């Protein structure tokens, strides 16, 4: 009688992303690449219902259908902190909300992963906001890894916070002198620091996150060493910082958006097909990006004044019923009288836009962007220069890094804040848009070179390829 065959259990990794589309998109793409590199992993994603949403079930079902290679499990919902907390400091609010899932995360792993005898739990991969679950990994006797969906320089600024705090550094103020932050080449003006650092709750929350980062086994960063060589060298030489794996640029080239509109997409791509090469300015401000009517009118007048071709994605500002921007039914209500008619031969206005496909199109010559990290990587990959217009989060310091440290972007604004009440005037919009299409040769050549470098980083022998190989060995237990 032949002996019974024993199969080696798969290494189970449990991912816990933050409940935000920008965080989920990049971690999903990373997880897909992990399985492509080594199919001996079993991946489970634990999903939270976003605050003020009642149920994550439908979303889990959609993702399960689209990605059968993963297991998606919805965590039980928790009561979010009061709404006024999100208005005071969104990052503090989100961190508290996520931490309240701690027991649910542990129960879900025990009941749905550890109970499966065909896998062995190899570790937890946690979003930068999910550091409360580093303790869950410790309780279960497995390592934790931070998936950092922003850049290495911003990671360095976070890891610097506990050092500053322990030296007596208090909450930053916008009027403070420039700061020497080791992960940035140039001194950082206080006006470009994330708003959360001006808020007691946000500051202390990020000090706590950074301390927990140091308890993880490794930090996975969606960047490539050549884009942020100064920051990566700093992190690699810093005692007490876990091993940093630069595995990017991790970009979803298919642009699988949950709000994709197929009809609008075809119209947009047909319009781009009819435009000259590198002639179109693309304005798009991310899943949370929107402006009030006064600012929309100034942008419109600036675009008209510039005389450049444009593709502009406009979202309606959040209402009392929803914290998220909404679709616009009638653009003429928001824009200057006659604008749509006067610009119909040079401009296209849409709601949702297939951002990756637009950036990949030969007609796209510039990207007016909020400077979210995913958008930065996408524009870099396709060699499209960015005009910076940050809104929230770490976008202001990202804009500073792109303009001052990397030289791959043109400044429209670096210190604009969505809730600051500022209205950027038409003249400034017109100048930046005209400059980037008709000039900016130095920025354009730097972006083109960085695009080629980023692509090489992912090829066999490239910096990100090697980092990914090392990480796979560590995750599978084959390397220390």
- Would you say residue 23 has pLDDT above 90? no
Whether 126 contacts 92, CB under 8 Å: no
pLDDT tens digits, 315-361: 877 655 555 666 777 888 899 999 999 999 999 999 989 999 999 99
Judge contact between 104 and 48, C-beta under 8 A. Answer: no
- Output the CA angle 445-467-404, nearest 5 degrees: 35
Helix, strand and coil in the chain, % to nearest 5: 45, 15, 40
Mean pLDDT of 186-194: 97
Average pLDDT of the chain is: 91
CATH topology identical between 10-253+457-475 and 262-454: yes
CATH of 10-253+457-475, one of 3.40.50.2000, 3.30.479.10, 3.40.50.300, 3.40.50.460: 3.40.50.2000
Span 122-163, pLDDT tens digits = 999 999 999 999 999 999 999 999 999 999 999 999 999 999
The domain segmentation of the chain, as residue ranges, is: 10-253+457-475, 262-454
Question: Residue 210 above 90 pLDDT?
Answer: yes
| CATH pick for 262-454 out of 2.102.10.10, 3.40.50.300, 3.40.50.11780, 3.40.50.2000 | 3.40.50.2000
Question: Which residues have a Cβ under 8 Å from the Cβ of 108 and sit 6 or more positions away?
Answer: 46, 73, 75
- Of 56, 59, 46, nearest to 13 (Cα)? 46
What pTM, to 2 d.p., does this model score? 0.93
């Amino acid at each position: 009688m032949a002996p019974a065959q024993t199969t080696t259990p798969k290494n189970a990794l449990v991912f816990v992303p933050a409940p935000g589309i920008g965080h989920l998109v990049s971690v999903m793409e990373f997880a897909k690449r992990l399985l492509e590199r080594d199919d001996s992993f079993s991946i489970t994603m634990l999903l939270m219902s976003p605050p003020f949403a009642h149920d994550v079930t439908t979303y889990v079902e959609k993702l399960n259908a689209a990605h059968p290679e993963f297991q998606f499990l919805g965590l039980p919902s928790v009561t979010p902190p009061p709404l006024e907390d999100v208005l005071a400091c969104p990052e503090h609010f989100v961190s508290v909300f996520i931490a309240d899932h701690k027991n649910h995360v542990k129960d879900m792993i025990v009941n749905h992963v550890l109970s499966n005898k065909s896998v062995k739990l190899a570790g937890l991969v946690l979003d930068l906001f999910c550091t409360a679950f580093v303790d869950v990994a410790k309780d279960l006797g497995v390592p934790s890894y931070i998936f950092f969906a922003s850049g290495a320089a911003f990671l360095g600024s976070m890891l610097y916070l506990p050092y500053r705090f322990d030296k007596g550094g208090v909450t930053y103020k916008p009027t403070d002198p420039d700061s020497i932050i080791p992960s940035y080449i140039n001194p950082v003006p206080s006006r470009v620091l994330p708003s959360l650092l001006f808020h007691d709750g946000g500051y202390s929350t990020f000090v706590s996150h950074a301390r927990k980062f140091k308890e993880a086994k490794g930090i996975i960063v969606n960047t490539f060493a050549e884009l942020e060589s100064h920051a990566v060298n700093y992190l690699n030489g810093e005692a007490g910082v876990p091993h940093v794996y630069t595995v990017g640029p991790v970009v979803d080239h298919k642009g699988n958006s949950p709000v994709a509109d197929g009809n609008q997409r075809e119209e947009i791509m047909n319009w781009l097909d009819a435009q000259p090469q590198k002639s179109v300015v693309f304005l798009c401000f991310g899943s949370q990006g929107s402006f009030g009517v006064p600012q929309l009118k100034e942008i419109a007048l600036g675009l008209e004044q510039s005389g450049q071709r444009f593709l502009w994605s406009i979202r309606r500002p959040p209402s009392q019923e929803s914290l998220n921007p909404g679709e616009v039914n009638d653009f003429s209500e928001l824009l200057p009288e006659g604008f749509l008619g006067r610009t119909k031969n040079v401009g296209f206005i849409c709601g949702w836009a297939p951002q990756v496909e637009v950036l990949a199109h030969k007609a796209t010559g510039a990207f007016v962007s909020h400077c979210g990290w995913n958008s930065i990587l996408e524009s870099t990959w396709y060699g499209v220069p960015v005009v910076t217009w940050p809104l929230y989060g770490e976008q202001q310091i990202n804009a500073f890094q792109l303009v001052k440290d990397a030289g791959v972007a043109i400044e429209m604004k670096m210190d604009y804040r969505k809730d600051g009440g500022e209205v950027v005037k038409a003249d400034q919009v017109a100048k930046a848009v005209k400059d980037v299409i008709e000039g900016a040769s130095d920025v354009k050549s730097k972006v083109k070179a960085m695009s080629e470098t980023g692509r090489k980083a992912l090829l066999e022998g490239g910096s990100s390829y090697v980092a990914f190989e090392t990480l796979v060995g560590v995750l599978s237990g084959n390397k220390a």
